[in-house]
């Protein structure tokens, strides 16, 4: 498949390289990718899934599933503006 720029692509995003710009004693690469993977573990977005998949390859801990639910923007709008 070709993307909007005309580049040939498989249509599934992947992380091929990640660089952490902090001192290693502040935060290790494996720790950072573990946190990123945990944050994205239930993401429904393709980029979130790419981050999670990359983190699973290099992280220090396996990711376990937790309860997750998705809400539409309409539901958030109703909560934010109950009288509209």
How far is Cα 51 from Cα 38, in angstroms, rounded to an integer?
10
Name the pLDDT band for 75 (thresholds 50, 70, 90).
low
Angle separating helix axes 29-40 and 46-58, nearest 10 degrees = 140
Burial of 1 (0-12, 13-18, 19+ CB in 10 A): exposed
CA gap 37, 29 in Å, rounded: 12
Q: What digits encode the pLDDT tens for the residues 4-42? A: 787 777 778 889 888 888 887 888 888 888 888 888 888
- Each domain of the chain, given as residue ranges in start order, spans 1-14+24-84
Question: What is the model's pLDDT at position 72?
Answer: 65
Q: What is the pLDDT of residues 48-65, one digit of tens each?
A: 999 999 998 887 666 665
């Amino acid at each position: 498949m070709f993307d909007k720029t005309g580049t040939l692509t498989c249509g599934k995003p992947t992380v091929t390289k990640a660089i952490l710009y902090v001192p290693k004693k502040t935060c290790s690469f494996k720790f950072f990718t573990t946190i990123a993977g945990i944050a994205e573990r239930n993401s429904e977005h393709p980029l979130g899934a790419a981050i999670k998949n990359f983190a699973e390859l290099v992280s220090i801990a396996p990711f376990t599933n937790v309860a997750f639910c998705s809400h539409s923007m309409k539901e958030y709008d109703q909560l934010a503006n109950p009288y509209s």
